Chains A and B, each alone.
Chain A
Amino acid sequence: MSPDARPAPTGTPSSEPAPPGTPAADATRTAPAAAPALRRVLAQAAFETRMILRNGEQLLVTVILPVLVLVGLARTGFVDLATDGASRIDFVAPGVLALAVMSTSFTSQAIATAFDRRNGVLRLLATTPLGRGGLLAGKVLGVLAVEVVQVVVIGAVAVALGWRPELAGVPAALLALLLGTAAFTALALALAGALRAEAVLATANLVLVLLAVAGGVVIPASQLPGWLGDVALLLPSGALGEALRAGLVRGELAGGSLLVLLAWALALAWGARRLFRWH
């Protein structure tokens, strides 16, 4: 749609005298236009990714903390784990990947979005050609980009520690990562769009720690005490941990856990839509 190629609209003859203060330059001026949609979204994704990876605290939570947990659980008998015959590193690595994905898609995203909302960043970007839809798409792509970095770094450390994942289960594991990312990003946006930034900061960190310890992520639901194990299986954290372990330890597709994740993703996306306030 080139504005130059269009014939002058009828009813506004070009001989119309320009109002004072409007020089002839106005006539030759090209109409402002947006960059193509894909380029806008990719630019936003790159912008978000850079901001997360450059922020020291975010990097601590998303990369360094999971690596420490990985090394700690694989090399020490600190936590008693029944590994069902698998090596300790093989059993622990999928859970740590789940924890890493949660830290990026949930904790880090919730905090960043909450402060962007408070500082008016969301409103300002919504008025640019990016728009609200582009902003959301850019955020999700940014989360996925950071997750790629996490999987590469944590995977490399785990392999160095002797991790040998079951390759047949990789597609199922990727599906679990995507569904888990969708569910936790939606939860992050619901929280960030509804609560004050300080409240989000506290809640997002607390929820991550609670889920990490008792949510069936690193320590499987079956090894949690009593009723906690039954509950954890139905939590998005437990379902993500189970699905990743089923895929990467045993090469199986855990249909039940994937369904639980899908249900959470849909429910939380609906909730985020209802709860999110731009102002």
Chain B
Amino acid sequence: MPESPAVEIRGLVKRYGSRAVVDGLDLVADAGRVTAVLGPNGAGKTTTVECCEGLRSPDAGTVRVLGLDPLADARALRPRVGVMLQDGGLPTGVRALEMLEHVARLHARPRDVGELAERLGLGGFARTTVRRLSGGQRQRLALAAALVGRPELVFLDEPSAGMDPQSRRAVWELVRELRDEGTSVVLTTHLMDEAEDLADRVVVVDHGAVIAQGSVAGLVASGSDRTLRFTAPAPLDAAALGSLAEALSARPGAGAARAVRPAADGGDLDYVVTGDVDARTLADLTAWCAGRDLLLSRMTVGRRTLEDVFLDLTGRSLR
């Protein structure tokens, strides 16, 4: 790409006390694209974004935002970068629209406040004080404040946290529109569907470092693209899971070894088979169950999701 990336981070380290929250993180967010930084709580997503926003100074490594240094070039960057903080950052004593109008006044050529308010459905609570807004309403107001200056790049930290599904959809729609207008978007999320729906590129972060990155399709396609889920009649212990994995991998000519693990996003009795799932895998599974007189109550074959990718990478659930 000829133009400099929206964000370029090399070897970022940030410590709080002796604990490194971000530990050698490298990340590139392309201009004009939506980049999702995905990871569990405490992975270092917010700290990374705050280093980009000039709110924290790195202990090591370099951060470039629109080709500039977030601390040294803060004055030049502030009008060009929109920020939505995770905790909102809205003063509680003002009315919703008043806050938006105030942020607009800090810019030379802001968006039309009325139009933006309508777009995000702020009209219903325009004259309500921030203190009385619901979590989702505050999120929408904070998003409007991030966008009102027509930024070239926006940082959205957990943008749809606390929103009802309808507001979430409105926010996603707006993020897509921003991208289509050429705005670069960097968002953090621990929601798989948000990353899958919105992002051109996903960066998976855990323990303060990037453990995988690429397009959603690319990440999901690494390895098999199918998973087999089933619900057992009783919990399976480690020995049973080992024996089952062996049974599923024993067939001659099978591809990658298959693994069985408890499903992170399901009930206690839900399990997932990963690896090369094909027609014979189902037969092998039911044969193993028949041998032990186990009647499965449910068995589904589905597409591999980012959640599965994350589990494969970390062995842990996002939620």
Contact = CB atoms under 8 A, between A and B. Distances in A.
Contacts of B179: 21
B32 A21 contact: yes
Contacts of A43: 102, 105-106
Contacts of B253: none
Interface in B219-274: none
A132 B47 CA distance: 19
Nearest to A116: B91
A94 to B, nearest CB: 31
Contact of A19 (B32, B93, B181): B32
A34 B108 contact: yes
Chain A interface category by residue count: 35 or more
Interface stretch (A22-30, A61-69, A187-195, A232-240): A22-30
A138 to B, nearest CB: 10
A15 B32 CA distance: 18
Contacts of A12: 2-3
Given A12-B3, A31-B152, A32-B152, A124 B90 contact: yes
A46 to B, nearest CB: 9
B147 to A, nearest CB: 11
Interface residues of B, number: 45
Contacts of A36: 108
Interface string B28-51: 001111000000000000000000
B149 A129 contact: yes
Contacts of A131: 74-75, 78
A25 B3 CA distance: 16
Given A25-B182, A32-B151, A33-B109, A54 B102 contact: no
B149 A128 contact: yes
Contact of B1 (A19, A126, A129): A19
Nearest to B149: A32
B90 A21 contact: no
Given A128-B149, A131-B75, A35 B1 contact: no
A40 interface: yes
A50 B93 CA distance: 10
A203 B224 CA distance: 61
A51 B30 CA distance: 40
A274 interface: no
Interface in B66-113: 74-75, 78-81, 83, 85, 87-94, 102-103, 105-109
A209 B89 CA distance: 31
A130 interface: yes
A242 B204 CA distance: 63
Contacts, number: 121
Interface in A197-245: none
Contacts of A127: 53-55, 78, 81, 83
Contacts of B83: 124, 127-128
B150 interface: yes
A36 B90 CA distance: 23
A34 B2 contact: no
A33 to B, nearest CB: 4
Contacts of A32: 79-80, 107-109, 149-152
Given A21-B32, A127-B83, A128-B149, A35 B106 contact: yes
B78 A129 contact: yes
A265 B193 CA distance: 54
A121 interface: yes
A19 B145 CA distance: 28
Contacts of A121: 89-91
B106 A129 contact: yes
A164 interface: no
B78 A34 contact: yes
Contacts of A30: 109
A29 to B, nearest CB: 7
A4 interface: no
Contact of A123 (B55, B109, B200): B55
A120 B94 CA distance: 15
A35 B102 contact: no
18 contacts: A19-B32, A22-B182, A25-B181, A26-B32, A33-B109, A34-B79, A34-B107, A35-B108, A50-B94, A51-B93, A119-B88, A120-B87, A124-B88, A124-B145, A126-B55, A127-B78, A128-B83, A278-B55
Interface of A: 11-12, 16, 19, 21-23, 25-26, 29-36, 39-40, 43-44, 47, 50-51, 54-55, 115-116, 119-131, 278-279
Kindly list the 7 A-B residue pairs having the minimum CB-CB distance in the complex, ordered from nearest.
A124-B89, A120-B89, A26-B182, A33-B108, A34-B79, A127-B83, A120-B87
Interface of B: 1-3, 30-33, 53-56, 74-75, 78-81, 83, 85, 87-94, 102-103, 105-109, 142, 145, 149-152, 179-182, 200
Given A128-B149, A279-B55, A279-B56, 17 more contacts: A21-B32, A22-B182, A23-B181, A34-B106, A36-B108, A39-B105, A43-B102, A47-B94, A47-B102, A119-B87, A121-B89, A121-B91, A124-B85, A124-B88, A125-B89, A129-B107, A131-B75
